[in-house]
Amino acid sequence: MYDPMVDSSPGCGIEYPSSYWADISTTNETSKPEDDGQLDKDIDVEVAIIGAGYTGLSCALHLAREHNIKAHVFEANQTAWGCSGRNAGFILKSSGRKTYAAMQKQWGEEVMRGIYHEMCAGVETVNGLIGEGINCDQQPAGYIKVAHKPSMLKTLKAQAKLQQQMFGYDVQVLSRQELHQDYMADENAYGAIRYQDGFGLNPLKLAWGYQQLAQAAGVKVHTSTPVSFADTSIKNSRQLITPQGKVTAKKVVIATNGYTPKGLHPIVTNRSLPVLSQIIVTAPLSPAQLAACNFITSNVVMDTRALKYYYRKLPDNRILFGGRGAITGKNANDPAYAQRLMSVLKTSFPALENLTYDYAWSGWICMALDDLPHIYQGEKGSNEENLFYAMGYCGSGVSFSVQAGKRLAEKVAGKAVSNLPLYTQPLPKFPFAPLRRVGQWGYFHYGKIKDKYL
């Protein structure tokens, strides 16, 4: 499997991985939208965007609609070939891995509230675009965060109280009995808190919808067009090399997140850690199996482990279940990781002992050292001033990446954005960057101990 810490290119024109989303999205009334194909000539553009995932498509869409700038998007493989087409499809008001309490302590209440409002705006931006007619199999709203051991229910209750006080957030506290009776009888859940505004959808169809909206606004989307930065410098512009042509752009946006290839550009080198997330999708559950688990809800679910598990019931009564994957791309396809998820799922729902999975795949998410996404423009007056990026969603980017793309568009257009750390600071570099995966390995082992004993 492509490994962004090892490989200098994600490939060219590679088809989607064998996933549930790639399979189900090309049936019934939906099909992959037409794009502009591989670039086959030299072109001059105002803005070149690298990556046709949520961030890149959102940036292009908002540049066209709000700033009358028609960008060109360049994708090495297929639209949403990376994490945008492989994730679990959870729409959440999430800020990455950094808690609001930690933000308040570090930056004060005003900044903390500003970041919260940006995360809320991210969900609103997604809902607004879906409302334009994107068919993405949206499910009923609700996000359940379950306590994976009794002591964590106390932590969740404190979290709910804090968010109610800080934001007036509508958070419901559920006892173990209430959770099992009204939502699903997860034997590994000892109570939960439930938010009213998260929901699940088909992430690949969502990305295809963004592409169609962007193209309708005049955006060009070139697939099978991997790019690299030319060594030569041109005044007030950048030159990108593709297999069949050169792109000369006044401004370049890097929107590759966890799929950023090794050595793409120094502005993003050593500033992220790509981490594999593994997902399985089971065979459809029978009515008897659903009844045995009292699996009523279609809400999205996540637990309180350091090494989190997450799941949801899909519209065809399958269960999507996810968690951490391998550390390296070389080991990504080892069936042990999918089998481990299946084993954990069966401890949550013992009545599913004979259930099997039909799909298993993995994808790279992008971790930031400070647990926050960053939307950044190269320093004014430097030779990187015409470079922009948005990265580091920490596994919570399905909604916020679209807001990030909108803010990127404002930066590219020269507009002012909110004075928040998200938008004013670059991603911090990882110390001892060549040893990032050693640290990841250590954290995984620490997480196992913490989740079981601490």
CATH of the domain at 80: 3.50.50.60
> How many other CB atoms are there within 10 angstroms of residue 27's CB atom?
8
**In this structure, are 286 and 356 located in the same domain?**
yes
pLDDT score at 30: 63
Between CA 375 and CA 382, with CA 381 as vertex, the angle to 5 degrees is 70
Total residues belonging to the chain: 454
**In this structure, are 316 and 173 located in the same domain?**
yes
pLDDT score at 139: 97
**In this structure, are 211 and 262 located in the same domain?**
yes
Q: Are the beta carbons of 173 and 145 closer than 8 angstroms?
A: no
pLDDT score at 28: 57
d(CA 45, CA 248): 6
Cα Rg of the chain, angstroms: 21
d(CA 219, CA 303): 39
**In this structure, are 301 and 432 located in the same domain?**
no
pLDDT tens for each residue of the chain, 454 residues long: 999 999 999 999 999 999 999 999 987 556 789 999 999 999 999 999 999 999 999 999 999 999 999 999 999 999 999 999 999 999 998 767 888 888 999 999 999 999 999 999 999 999 999 999 999 999 999 999 999 999 999 999 998 998 898 888 889 999 999 999 999 999 999 999 999 989 999 999 999 999 999 999 999 999 999 999 998 777 789 999 999 999 999 999 999 999 999 999 999 999 999 999 999 999 999 999 999 999 999 999 999 999 999 999 999 999 999 999 999 999 999 999 999 999 999 999 999 999 999 999 999 999 999 999 999 999 999 999 999 999 999 988 999 999 999 999 999 999 999 999 999 999 999 999 999 999 999 999 999 999 988 7
d(CA 210, CA 54): 8
Residue 251, φ and ψ in degrees, nearest 5:
-140, 145
Residue finishing a domain among 367, 395, 418? 367
pLDDT score at 203: 98
**In this structure, are 342 and 386 located in the same domain?**
no
57 found inside a domain: yes
**In this structure, are 288 and 329 located in the same domain?**
yes
- Token digits for 240? 């990108």
d(CA 51, CA 79): 8
Q: Are the beta carbons of 72 and 123 closer than 8 angstroms?
A: no
For residue 333, give its domain range: 138-200+274-367
> How many other CB atoms are there within 10 angstroms of residue 277's CB atom?
21
Residue finishing a domain among 316, 340, 367? 367
pLDDT score at 97: 84
Q: What is the pTM for the complete model shown?
A: 0.96
> How many other CB atoms are there within 10 angstroms of residue 191's CB atom?
20
| Helix locations, 12-149, DSSP H | 20-24, 54-67, 100-107, 109-130
d(CA 224, CA 227): 10
**In this structure, are 146 and 267 located in the same domain?**
no
Q: Are the beta carbons of 435 and 441 closer than 8 angstroms?
A: no
- Token digits for 387? 């470079």
CATH of the domain at 290: 3.30.9.10
Residue finishing a domain among 367, 402, 425? 367
246 found inside a domain: yes
Exposed e or buried b for every residue in 243-263, given b needs 16+ CB within 10 A? eeeebebebbbbbbbbbbbee
